[in-house]
Amino acid sequence: MSPPATSPRLSLSPPTSSQTPNISRTSSSPNFFGAVTVHGRAIIERCRYQTPDKPNNSIFLDANLYLHSSDKSTCDPIIGIITYFMHKDEFSEGNDPEVFDVSANIMIIPKNIPDSIKAEVLPSSFDVEDYTFLGDAIRLNYVGLASEGFEVACRPIFSIAGTVTSVNENERIFEINPSPYTSFGKRGLPSSCPFKILVPESKRWEKFPRLTNGGYVSVDGFGLSVSRSEDGSINYIAVELEKVTLLGKPAMPPIRTPTGM
């Protein structure tokens, strides 16, 4: 299956002062619990500086990934914005999108993003509904130019750690909604990453995993699709289970009262 065509990547030339957005910061800090990392082959494009008024090596990248079923009968392309610290001349100035093997810590892009942060993060002429996740690159390995025919419709793997919020053995589904930390948390964005984990009907999974609500688990699985509401916001990412590790229930340490009080 050929992935959808992508638009040319923007130049890294800094904008003029009249184009530089007026960015305000928020001091609110969301709570973080759990972790989500995606590993996959992506088309990287639309490189842009994080601080366009003072160009340096910190950049935003658009990462195009392709979720699909094991038989490739369906394909659900998703785009994420990831941060990266660019080494000199690591990205070309041409218009041909490049293919990379990517690992990134991610969170779902929230629907209600302040306009100031939209201006900072989103490329011009794009809206929040065009994207699925935000994240920080932890690995970028160059593969080649997209025009050279490299296979990019590879199934990305999601590694998820968090508490189970729902279990349905009849439908062979359980849900996790961690609140992972990324650098976008510094901008005051709420962190959420809802997943529906589908347990395949196979010999390996004849017995449904012994899961309980509130139990802490670590899950690895292949991305299948993304569910969105009518307004374009993300409901959840569907993942086919490959591995699950039961880690017990989170517990608070006992509170000790100091002596002499």
Render pLDDT for 54-88 as a digit per residue (tens, 0 to 9). Answer: 767 788 999 999 888 777 677 888 999 999 987 76
What was the pLDDT predicted at 162? 92
Q: Is 168 a domain residue?
A: yes
pLDDT of residue 12: 44
User: What range defines the domain where residue 145 resides?
Assistant: 31-246
CB atoms within 10 A of CB 62: 25
Q: Is residue 90 part of a domain?
A: yes
Is position 80 within any domain? yes
Amino acid at 63: A
In the predicted structure, residue 224 carries a pLDDT above the cut 60: yes
> 20 in a domain, yes or no?
no
Tell me if 71 is assigned to some domain. yes
Please give the Cα distance from 243 to 105 (Å, whole number): 19
Q: Into how many domains does the chain fold?
A: 1
Confidence bin at 23 (pLDDT 50/70/90) = very low
Residue 260 lies in a domain: no
**Considering the domain boundaries, does residue 25 fall inside one?**
no
Please report whether residue 61 resides in a domain. Answer: yes
> What pLDDT, in 10s, does the model give residues 163-190?
999 999 999 999 999 988 888 888 888 8
